Amino acid sequence: MKYPKIIRTYCKYCKKHTEHSVSQARVRERGSLKKGSIERAKKRGLGRGYGNLGRYGSKPAISKWKRTGSKSSKRIDLRLKCKVCNKSTIRTSSSRVKKFSLE
Ligand SMILES: [Zn+2]
């Protein structure tokens, strides 16, 4: 799938159609000293109570032998940045794609 680098779409902050620059959103690693670290979350009192919301605590043992590679396509997350207010939103693609490129 080829996707344009600049699209004109609705911005929920400006409340009108504006130009947005498109980039592919990637999963960022959770560092031990970064703002999104688990240590920081625990100090702020997050991850307490019933359930870990899939974010906190130790990883399950099942992850070591879980079947991988069964799907050859995936949904792409796009990071759209408004050129007027410089705020960004993430949009998930509606269809699954094997190849993705911005042009
Ligand atoms: Zn905007």
Tell me the whole-structure pTM to 2 decimals: 0.65
pLDDT digits (tens, 9 = 90+) for 10-23: 999 999 999 999 99
> What are 28's two structure tokens?
């960022």
> How many angstroms does the Cα of residue 1 sit away from the middle of ligand 1?
26
Per the model's pLDDT, the better-predicted residue between 63 and 88 turns out to be 88
Instruction: Report yes or no: 91 and 20 within 8 Å, Cβ to Cβ.
Output: no
Domain at 1-27+74-96, CATH from 2.40.50.140, 3.40.50.10140, 3.10.450.80, 3.60.10.10 = 3.10.450.80
- Domain residue limits, the chain: 1-27+74-96
Q: Give the pLDDT band (50/70/90) at residue 87.
A: very high
* Cα–Cα distances in angstroms (integers) from residue 21 to residues 29, 52, 66, 97, in the given order: 24, 35, 37, 21
> How many angstroms does the Cα of residue 103 sit away from the middle of ligand 1?
22
What residues sit around ligand 1, an ion, with C-beta below 5 angstroms? 11, 13-14, 82, 84-85
pLDDT digits (tens, 9 = 90+) for 25-78: 888 788 888 888 888 888 888 877 777 677 776 666 665 666 667 788 888 899
> How many angstroms does the Cα of residue 84 sit away from the middle of ligand 1?
5
> How many angstroms does the Cα of residue 86 sit away from the middle of ligand 1?
6
- Taken in order 12, 18, 23, 24, the sign of the CA dihedral is positive
